[in-house]
Every structure is written in structure tokens, then in C-alpha cells.
Amino acid sequence: MVSRALRCGLCWFLGLVPLVCALPGKTHSNSPLAGSKPVGIITVPGLHFLPMPYGGESKDLRPHCILKPETVEQVTAAIKTLNTPQVGKCWNVAIRAGGHSNFPASNTTSGVTIDLVRPNTLSLNDNGTVSVGSGNRWGDVYRYLEPRGVMVAGGRESTVGVSGLLLGGGLSWYSGHIGSAVDNAAAFEVRRAQAGRWRIGLLTGKASQVVLADGSVVRAASDENPDLFRALKGGGGNFGLVTKYKLRHFPSHNIFGGITIFPYAQKDAIMRKFVGMVDGNANGHPDDSGFAAAAWGPASGKIMSFIVVNTEGRSNTTAFAGLEDLSPLVDMRADLPVSGIAAQITSTSGQYQVWSTLTYRNTPDMGRKILSSFESVIDDVEPLIDSNEDLRIVYLLTPLPISSSSYGDNVLGLDKTHTTSSVIFSVQAILPST
């Protein structure tokens, strides 16, 4: 067993990148690569951890070292070092970009967490694409693109990281028009593990070069190494470390929408609106989008919410007509840029997020059964919870448009199974992290 002190010593000796060695109660930043550049404020096991991620479970894990590379070259140096025979057997390695997940894949114990918050460059290209560094969050991307008159298909919440959403497929407000977010990716810049080696390169649908860990270069194209490009489109972080994305952009304009919240007594009316919106996506109205939720907390009791968006900026679309007549408690709908809608929908960070999902065909009967299940659960839970406790239970319904399976070549498998209007049903419990 390699001791923690020895592992931290290896980090320093091998000159990985700006890092923190996780000795209890102590912070070290001794790396030749750090130079005079600040590595940011990082606290470590024995004190605290990284900036609080979406799922509080990640906070409980204690890596030996946290690497925060500032450049692509430093990422490569770290991966090469951690993949050497002398070192690789001693470490677990986790990659963190946004950390927006309910399971703690973005952190590790007894190993190294590589935090990609610093590769956050953004640049507009001449070929109809924008280059997006893996450390960006979608709110940053939107605020960069809007003054330049273009937009991309991305996350609906401003704080969601670029990497996890894209590599997982990614639903956006524009999915009804152009499919999953990752289907609009033209290229990935990747550090890849294969047969014990790591690769770095730019993979496109046509041709690119891949630099091996030993410095050699190979060609990647549709007829040579095309598997990695496709595998990354829905394969998550299992096939390589992506540091940059090239996304196709389209003209930007304001969209109409926002959060609406209603008394729970309006549940049936809201569910009818939601079911109609999902059906409308497949019947000539792909610009309508949104999601509905039944939510409960000790202070608020049961409420219904409906987050609505029309990507063409229309306020009088049939799917959302009459919402103002349902006595909304909150109505934040307005003519807004994409960044404005995303800023409204920001998850609480640092709390434990526990959820489970299933997908069903969109029918009014399923909507009624889901509401009945929600009421039954709350009837069981409510007597057990003090009124001042910080706990929320959410039944979230998200459309899965048929068109989301019609664009691009990915590994999600929806092109084979997704033949009718569907809904992703998520049951969530949100608890305090302490």
C-alpha cells in the first residue's frame, strides 16, 4: 500500500500540474508547472473540499490530490504521469467538469480528482462552429454567444457544466428542432485511454489527428478510428477526457418563457397542458418546450410548476394559452435571451440529490397515475417531517421529443426504440448535506 504522504510526494516530484495534496488539515501547492500563476482557492480533506457540486455525495469523498490544470498541455502531462506503470496502479482517477450529477462520479477517494474548471476558453470559428472549453457552464456559453448573434443547443440550467450534458446526450430547448445537444457537436478534443495508453487529439466526422502519449500521431476519420467520435456522443466519460468541444451554432434571438408556479389544486389543468405540449412537439409545434413538476416541502406544501419556453419567441402559442387564468402564484414568463431563461432555472448546489427515472409514452392516463403516486408518497412522508426541515420531494416530467432521435449518429439507441411522444419521469429527493 502506497502511503498518502508518498503519493503526494510523487505528485510534487513528477511535477504534475498546480495541485493540492490532501494531507489532513494542510494545504500544499508545490509544482514546477504552477509558476507564478494562481491555482485558485482550494481547500482539501481535513478542512473542506472543492466548490460545492450539485450532488452533495461528492463532497464526502476524499482524494489524495486535486489537480486543476490550466492548459491542455498540463492535462496531458497529468494523464501521462498517472498512466505510467510505476504510478498508475496506485491511483483512482476522477474527472470533474460541472459536477452536476446526483451520483459522485466527479470525485474519488484514494486517488486523484482532475478538476477541469480552468480549460474554459470560448471562441467563435469561421466554419459555423464555436469552440467551448470543458470547464465552461452553459450560462457562460450563452452570455458569450448572445452579443455575437449566435446560439447553440445546450443545457436548460445556467449552472450545468458543458461536458456532462454533452457526453450524456443532452436535452435542450431546441431538441424539438435539432435533436440532442451532442448531435450538434462537430468535434471533440480528447485525451483517450486505450490498451493502457492515452491519446490526445481532435476527432471530427471527417478527419483529424490523434496524438498518442508517446508523441506519435495517427489519423482519425470516418474510415479510421471513427468509433471514438460516435462513442462519445452519449457514452459519458467512459472513453476519454474531453477538453474542448466544437459545436454548430445558429442565429440567436430572444425566446419567450419562464417559470410558472400554481396552487396544487390546478394539478389537472397543468397536466393537461403538459400532455398537450408533448403531443404538439410531434405535430407541427417543435418550438414549444418545457417541463412540469409536482413538488412538496414542509414549508410550501404541495405545488405545481410548469416551466415553459417557445424558442421562436411567441407568447400566444396554443400549448401555453390560458396559464394566466389558473391563478399562478408565480409567473416569470417574458421575452428573454436564452441566458435569461437559464438563469431562472438554477439548481440548489451542495445538497444531496437522490433521484430515479423511467421513460413512458405520453398519455393523459399516465399523467393522472403519476399525480396519484405523488400524493400517496407525500401522505406517507409529511407526518414524519418537522415543518422546519429542509427537504423537498419533486416529481419532474420532461418531454423526450421524437425528433431527439432523428439527428446525428449517437450511441443512445433512441433511433431504434423511440417511435412516439415520450416523457422522462424523474422522482427526486433533495436533502441538506449536513
Q: What residues does each domain of the chain span?
A: 34-115, 122-251, 255-431
Distances (CA, A) of 395 to 270, 288, 293, 306: 14, 21, 5, 12
Q: Which residues pair with 161 in a beta bridge?
A: 137
Q: Which residues pair with 301 in a beta bridge?
A: 297
H helix runs in 183-307, sequence order: 227-232, 267-281
pLDDT values of the chain reduced to their tens digit, one per residue, 434 residues: 444 444 444 344 334 444 444 433 334 433 323 332 333 333 344 333 455 555 666 777 778 788 888 777 777 777 777 777 666 556 788 888 877 777 777 888 878 888 888 878 999 999 898 999 888 999 999 999 999 999 999 999 998 999 889 888 888 999 888 888 878 776 666 665 443 433 333 333 333 333 334 433 333 334 556 777 777 777 777 767 778 888 999 999 999 999 999 999 999 999 999 999 999 887 888 899 999 999 999 999 999 999 999 999 999 888 888 999 999 999 999 999 999 999 998 776 667 778 889 999 999 999 999 999 999 999 999 999 988 788 999 999 999 888 766 666 677 777 777 678 899 999 999 887 66
3.40.190.10, 3.30.960.10, 3.40.462.20, 3.30.2290.10: CATH of 255-431:
3.40.462.20
Cα separation, 244 vs 278, in Å, equals 33
Question: Cα angle vertex 59, ends 57, 65, to 5°?
Answer: 130
**Which triple of cell numbers denotes residue 122?**
470560448
pLDDT at 17: 41
pLDDT at 39: 32
Cell 457537436, residue located: 185
Distances (CA, A) of 345 to 270, 341, 396, 423, 429: 19, 7, 13, 19, 17
Q: How many CA atoms lie within 13 A of 402 on its CB side?
A: 15
Cα separation, 249 vs 227, in Å, equals 24
Q: Minimal CA–CA distance to 111: which of 63, 77, 67, 69?
A: 63
**122-251 and 255-431, same CATH topology:** no
H helix runs in 336-424, sequence order: 338-344, 364-381, 414-417
Q: Contact at 8 Å (CB) between 57 and 352?
A: yes
Q: What is the pTM of this model?
A: 0.82
3.40.50.1820, 3.40.50.2300, 3.30.465.10, 3.30.450.40: CATH of 122-251:
3.30.465.10
- Domain covering 34-115 in this structure, CATH number: 3.30.43.10
Give the H or E element holding residue 86.
Answer: helix 85-88
Cα separation, 255 vs 31, in Å, equals 47
Cell 470560448, residue located: 122
